[in-house]
Amino acid sequence: MFPRPAHRLPSAVALLALVCSLATGAWTAPGKPGGQHRAAPVTRVPGTAGSATPLSGYAVQSTAKVRDAAAEVSSPGYPARDWYPAGPRSTVLAALLANGVYADPFRSTAQRGIPRADFQVPWWYRSDFTVADTARRTSLDFSGVVSAADVYVNGRLVAPASRVAGAYTRHELDITALVRPGANTVAFLVRPNDPDKDLTMGWLDWLQPPPDRNMGLVRDVLVRRGGPVALRDAHVVTELAVPSLATAGLTVRARVRNDTGGAVTARVGGRAAGTPFSRAVPLAAHETKTVTFSPADVPGLRLSAPRVWWPAGMGGQPLYGLALTATVAGTVSDTVHDTFGIRDVRAPLNADGARQYWINGRKLLVKGGGWSPDEFLRWDRRYAEDRLKYAVDLGLNTLRLEGHLEPDEFFALADRHGVLVLPGWECCDKWEGEVNPTGSGQKWSAADHAVARASMAAEAARLRGHPSVLSFLIGSDSAPDATIEKGYLDALEAADWPVPVVPAASGASAPRLGASGMKMTGPYDWVPPGYWYAKREGGATGFNSETSAGPSIPTLDTLRRMMTPAELDTLWKDPDARQYHRSPSATFGTLAIYDKALAGRYGAPTGLTDYVRKAQLAQYESVRAQFEAYQRNAADAERPATGVVHWMFNSGWTSLHWQLTDRYLDQNGAYFGAKKANEPLHAQYSYDDRSVVVVNNRPGAVRGLTVRATLFDPDGTRRYDETAAGVTVDGGGAHATPLVLPSTVGGPARTHLLRLVLTDPDGTEVSRNVYWLSTEADKLDWGRTTWYYTPTTGYADFRALASMDRVPVAATARTRTAGGRSTTTVTLRRAGSGTAPALLTDVRVVDAKGRPVLPVRWSDNMVSLWPGESVTLTATYRTAGLRGSAPGVRVSGWNTPERTVPAA
């Protein structure tokens, strides 16, 4: 990480607002450019030693429309007429979208109308910056070029595309000799991207790929200023005493580089975790040395009772500071400021060959989701933080980044919120071109090997100090061969990489690292909830790096934002229709498998609303079962579950599959199924052996619990009721099994509702969990399992749920607002007569036009209430989400009529 000192643009407030909105992709121009001069913002670069100032934006244009020579385009004063303003991190298409050139690509099939041919030629990125003087040395420091670029400064080529290739390679270009007082120009001639030919990033089957294939500059370009000696690669290596956590050793390392033609002596000093240190470093002309400060020579770097970093739910997330300064003859030449955390991560293979993570001496069941950036790689800090908060709300502890390695701020946010991150290279395109026979990537050249090694070195140096980083996967579907593996491991070792390196996300092995300890056995399409309990294929044993039951139909609110009425009509009527918002893959192009199961289990949909409400039940039960099975099996003596990554956590666009939260941060049945499964203290049902299990995800043991299991017919007739008292459960994911349900109960019903209620010694309810169960089990055809699912030949019968009595739910709500945040408290009560419960009652905070307020964090949702029962829920959100109106609460449910009540 590098310091990013605050800087001010010498431009109007309106222009600053424009640049900020461009960075998030939120700004829409009033129209297409029409001959007017559109200058990029000018970045003022201070002369402060150690400053690193990001360019604040660009003007971009296609080479098909720019006939001027590169020397002219990259010189100050060039009239960039008809160019488009772009943010500091922007793909070409992101810039065009921000300028209103194209309609919303997330709605319907609008993206098809964007001509791909426009992005098959290079595009210019041009930016001006000013310096007051040239007394300091100046360099450009950047990565994030997709796919490659010629770099020009003030009319001169400073690096050709052959040197500046790959999305993750980092480049520092000394431009001291070219910089002049006043205005200066940097220009990048960005080449088109092809993920099968370039070591960049692609989307495979996640979403419809962007027409520009993300060509552009997607990370900051820094203008560095400094003196004769530069500090680079500064970092802290931590060594925590495990399991006592009583002490920690800190070793500070940095490269000290003499950028002059004469010998100098630099004094390098600073503080790490408050401990000072200093040393004189003599350097010959153009010499670089590595300076090290360790507890052996600085005793204060041996910390007693260190503040240890933990994932959310296991402890706090303290961070320490590192500050370094290099001075020459008493004058500051360069500075570094960074943060780091102290934690210990280990990941040995267990007796069954599965990867088992330990953090700070405690065993960790990885409960994760696959992370997706925005399809057009637009960075929005608040949007990223909102999603990370959702991950914590869901009880997840890990997010997997398969390629698409986010900017520095993402990892800083993960550090702050206690979300572990599992980064790695992506599958099936150029990254695996040398080793994946079923992928589409081209074979590697000698130049590709160099880019891959440089990419690994750059990302290792960037990520190593973040305590949130759990591992690095140097392969995805395939492991690297000996040559590629050596290049990666050499780069990681040189960077003092502190956490385990895993050869692949699949079950593949690499020559030096050996077995991955992971499995990638699917499923990726619909399977019934009982699937997850089988210790085979994708079931709850070992570490499954990417898996889910596939489709995740959003709420009606989101569906109506993303699809036309005609498309929504097709959605529920035609299972075999190609769904543009599912996947470009032929395998995942339709919803046929999912829709067949939905109709087979719940009955054929009678309309769009009926289809969506049935989808929410199906997604709730499936996602809940996935996480519940893995956490129940985590403590097994034989073939325990060690980790599961739900594929995926979110989508980069408006999607019909692979998401726990949608593009707009709305929350469907999948979201609340995951939240229920991962609650801190949880009573759950086992689909394989009918056991009732209490799981304790809290750090410490709990005692004196009572669990009650009651089975009902859909009309509310009670068929079974059993209570177990005095239940004790150890902490850290341990579980107890106080009850086993009978195989049959009386009565004619083929569908039953199971209510589990867990109370503490004071009788306070701490967990409520409701299942719908069938006397007819789902039948899996294991013999016809494919890489993406196991066929189901017979379905559980839940059709009786459709005939449940419609029952009212009374609701009252009130809202408190302070400091830009609002909290709405909602009390629900199953009102009216009759014995049927209100099943999966869903509550939404809405504005005056009935639009959901998002993002929002609910204490609980999709709750089920029996006659006379009530529950109080809370929702917290930004007051601005109400769009200036008074809040309302919309209540609906499986068998509850929709109504909206005031909540002011």
Longest Cα separation, the chain: 94
pTM value > 0.85: yes
Name the token pair of 109.
Answer: 């099939």
Structure tokens at 26: 């939120």
Q: Please report which confidence band the pLDDT of residue 11 belongs to, taking 50, 70 and 90 as the band edges.
A: very low
The string of pLDDT tens digits covering residues 746-785 is 899 999 999 999 999 999 999 999 999 999 999 999 999 9
What is the Cβ-side half-sphere exposure of residue 868, based on CA atoms within 13 angstroms?
Answer: 3
Q: Are strands 681-685 and 821-830 parallel, antiparallel or unpaired?
A: unpaired
Percent of the chain past pLDDT 90, that is, above it, reads 95
SS3 content of the chain, % helix, strand, coil (to 5): 20, 35, 45
How big is the chain, counted in residues?
904
Token pair in block for residue 410: 């993402």
Whether the bond into 243 is cis, omega within 30 of 0 = yes
Over residues 825-878, the pLDDT tens digits come to: 999 999 999 999 999 999 999 999 999 999 999 999 999 999 999 999 999 999
Label residue 41 by pLDDT band (50, 70, 90): confident
Say how far apart CA 307 and CA 240 lie, in whole Å.
10
Q: How far apart are CA 709 and CA 745, in angstroms?
A: 13
C-alpha angle with apex 79: 73 to 84, nearest 5 degrees?
85
* Nearest Cα to Cα of residue 173 among 136, 144, 139, 142: 139
Helix (H) or strand (E) holding 449: helix 446-463
Residues 301, 307: Cα–Cα separation, whole Å: 14
Q: What is the DSSP letter of 472?
A: E
Whole-angstrom distance, CA of residue 353 vs CA of residue 542: 8
Distance CA(170)–CA(165), nearest Å, equals: 9
How far is it, in rounded angstroms, from Cα 90 to Cα 714?
54
Residue 855, preceding bond cis, omega within 30 degrees? Answer: yes
How many CB atoms sit inside 10 A of residue 808's CB? 16
pLDDT band at 27 (very low <50, low <70, confident <90, very high): very low
Please give the C-alpha separations between residue 527 and each of 174, 534, 623, 775, 786, in angstroms, as whole numbers: 56, 12, 10, 18, 12
Neighbours of 583 (CB within 10 A): 24
Separation CA 21–CA 44 (nearest Å): 19
Phi then psi dihedrals of residue 108, to 5 deg? 50, -135
Percentage of the chain lying above the pLDDT 70 cut:
96
Give the model confidence (pLDDT) of 89-118 as tens digits: 999 999 999 999 999 999 999 999 999 999
The structure tokens 């003087």 sit at 133
E strands, 688-775, in order: 691-696, 702-712, 718-729, 734-740, 751-759, 765-774
- Count of CA atoms in the C-beta half-sphere (13 A) of 650: 26
CA neighbor of 60 nearest in space, from 149, 115, 124, 144: 124
Q: Give the whole-angstrom CA distance, residue 809 versus residue 830.
A: 5
> With 50 as the cut, is the pLDDT of residue 713 above it?
yes
Residues annotated as part of the active site: 477, 546
Output the six-digit token pair for 276: 């000072």
Q: In what order do the strands lie in the sheet with 870-878?
A: 809-818, 821-830, 870-878, 856-858
For tokens 């052959």, the residue is: 162
The 10s digit of each residue's pLDDT in 354-387 is 999 999 999 999 999 999 999 999 999 999 999 9
Task: With beta carbons less than 8 A apart as the criterion, state whether 77 and 187 touch.
Answer: no
